[in-house]
């Protein structure tokens, strides 16, 4: 395992690299990122709904244990996820390696293609293929989506902070691990934790709430209101609670300048 100072240096370098990628690469990897997080959530829905009769409330925990497959694929196989970029690119920004304009352009581009990927999975695999459109699976989607939408704007914002604090930590541990097994475990535990707690992730919500919308159980206005609040909370959780805090704690004078 790398030292925290070494992890910081690695994160800064990765943040720079994310900004330097071509628009085509960002578009493809952003779509993959949105799709993989959504497929992880689809797995959660299928497992939690199927296991409810046998395991009761524990079925949701089992689903939370499986959800991290999405971020594992993104970080170990390739993909761009805005919540991760909120942490990594922000770290490079604090180290004065990327400009504010470059950071915002990166965040906007990845957000757009993450949304496209999430909507694609919600409609094609969820609605069209029917994996979230009938029976207990539709019931699970509607219940989870309504729970997300029932949060007040402030609650959604604060929940977003908690979520991306853990997602940012999963990246931090992944970047610090030297072996694939360490990276996998470093990603898995924090992501499982935020899902089990029930914190809100903007891209995951861009799958679960539209999945309910496609079944006529929610509406787009409520989705965008929720997404905005959760997204802003995700920014604070990743860029401040992880990037800025660790930069201030571990950034040497040579790193800062």
Per-residue pLDDT reduced to its tens digit, 80-89: 999 999 999 9
In this prediction, residues 215-232 reach a mean pLDDT of: 98
Cα-based distances in Å from 43 to 38, 57, 128, 175, 228: 9, 16, 16, 26, 25
Q: What is the CATH number of the domain that holds 239?
A: 1.20.1080.10
User: What DSSP character marks residue 132?
Assistant: T
* Count: domains in the chain: 1
pLDDT tens figures, 114-168: 999 999 999 999 999 999 999 999 999 999 999 999 999 999 999 999 999 999 9
148 in Cβ contact with 209 (< 8 Å): yes
pLDDT of residue 253: 55
In this prediction, residues 93-112 reach a mean pLDDT of: 98
pLDDT tens figures, 19-39: 999 999 999 999 999 999 999
pLDDT classification of 54: cutoffs 50, 70, 90: confident
pLDDT of residue 254: 46
pLDDT of residue 115: 98
94 in Cβ contact with 15 (< 8 Å): no
pLDDT of residue 57: 78
Domain that residue 29 falls in? 4-256
pTM for the full model? 0.95
Q: Answer whether residue 256 shows pLDDT above 60.
A: no
171: helix, coil or strand? Answer: helix
Q: Answer whether residue 255 shows pLDDT above 70.
A: no
124 in Cβ contact with 38 (< 8 Å): no
pLDDT of residue 24: 98
pLDDT classification of 55: cutoffs 50, 70, 90: confident
Kindly give, in sequence order, each residue whose CB lies less than 8 Å from that of residue 173, ignoring residues fewer than 6 positions away. 182, 183, 185, 186, 187, 189, 190
Residue recorded with tokens 């965040």: 107
């Amino acid at each position: 395992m790398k030292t925290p100072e070494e992890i910081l240096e690695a994160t800064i370098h990765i943040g720079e690299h994310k900004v330097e990628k071509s628009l085509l690469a960002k578009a493809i990897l952003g779509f993959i990122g949105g799709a993989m997080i959504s497929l992880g959530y689809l797995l959660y829905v299928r497992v939690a709904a199927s296991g409810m009769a046998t395991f009761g409330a524990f079925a949701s925990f089992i689903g939370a244990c499986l959800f991290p497959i999405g971020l594992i694929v993104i970080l170990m196989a390739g993909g761009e996820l805005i919540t991760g970029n909120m942490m990594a690119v922000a770290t490079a920004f604090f180290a004065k390696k990327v400009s504010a304009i470059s950071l915002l352009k990166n965040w906007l581009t990845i957000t757009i293609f993450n949304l496209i990927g999430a909507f694609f999975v919600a409609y094609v695999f969820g609605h069209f293929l029917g994996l979230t459109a009938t029976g207990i699976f539709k019931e699970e989607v509607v219940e989870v989506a309504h729970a997300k939408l029932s949060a007040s704007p402030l609650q959604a914002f604060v929940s977003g902070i908690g979520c991306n604090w853990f997602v940012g930590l999963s990246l931090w541990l992944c970047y610090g691990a030297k072996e694939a097994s360490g990276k996998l475990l470093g990603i898995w535990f924090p992501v499982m934790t935020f899902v089990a707690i029930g914190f809100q992730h903007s891209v995951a919500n861009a799958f679960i709430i539209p999945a309910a919308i496609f079944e006529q159980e929610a509406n787009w206005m409520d989705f965008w209101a929720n997404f905005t609040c959760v997204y802003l909370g995700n920014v604070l959780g990743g860029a401040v609670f992880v990037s800025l805090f660790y930069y201030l704690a571990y950034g040497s004078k040579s790193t800062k300048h």
